[in-house]
Amino acid sequence: MTQITSAMSSQAVLLDLDGTLIASRDGIIVCLRAALRELGREPDPGEDLDWVIGPPLPDVMARLLGDVGAEAIETGMRAYRAQYDRVGLHESPLFPGIADFMDDLANSGRRVFLATSKPLHLARRILELRGLTGYFDGFYGARPDDTGAEKPELIADLVAREGVDPERAVMVGDRRYDITGAHANGLRAIGVLWGYGGRAELEAAGADALAESPQALFALLEAQLALRPVPSVSG
């Protein structure tokens, strides 16, 4: 193994899913509106629901339903999950340029992990539908009941299980949860501007860099990882 190859394999890239790799907004919102109708609530068609992309589902449903109690929120989540399983996961195309970015990342020799608040079984199905599972060294997401979705805890679990060195790792995501979750675990974080958080949110969260497009993301990753020490390799 060459020194360069060894250095690259010691580095890790953590990728969010919704709003980072896939354009999931329309599928998620359609399913949320359908779930609300099942509960007898007619959603306002003019309401901006971009904020629902990123937070854990229990938080989203609690905000949409208001102070209705845990049982009603759980009922709403079940309705949403059923809708998403039938419709939403098929309405999640890759953002333009992501396929080429994943090729570049794979060719770099770095380890790549999924770190998403989406239930892991759904995330893996989406990646399978898009032909992306082979690019990843590991997959981390929420449990089927949407617990375990908080980014700080999820990333901490990934780091511990995979032996990731936070000083040689970068998180990539489109929402403040990705940035703060990474920083809570000592990782640098790149915010992507084609997703659902936006520049102001990502800057306020303290993103270490902002990517304007998937085409620019790989170079930004290289620059951020270069700011951290790489191991010396003898021989």
16 is an active site residue: yes
Distance CA 48, CA 82 (A): 23
The tokens for 112 are 């790549």
Active-site residue, selected from the candidate residues 16, 146, 178, 208:
16
Q: How far is CA 206 from CA 13, 71, 225, in A?
A: 18, 36, 17
Spatial CA neighbour of 164 closest among 133, 194, 132, 140: 140
For 104-183, strand residue ranges (E) read 111-119, 138-142, 169-173
User: Annotated active-site positions, please?
Assistant: 16
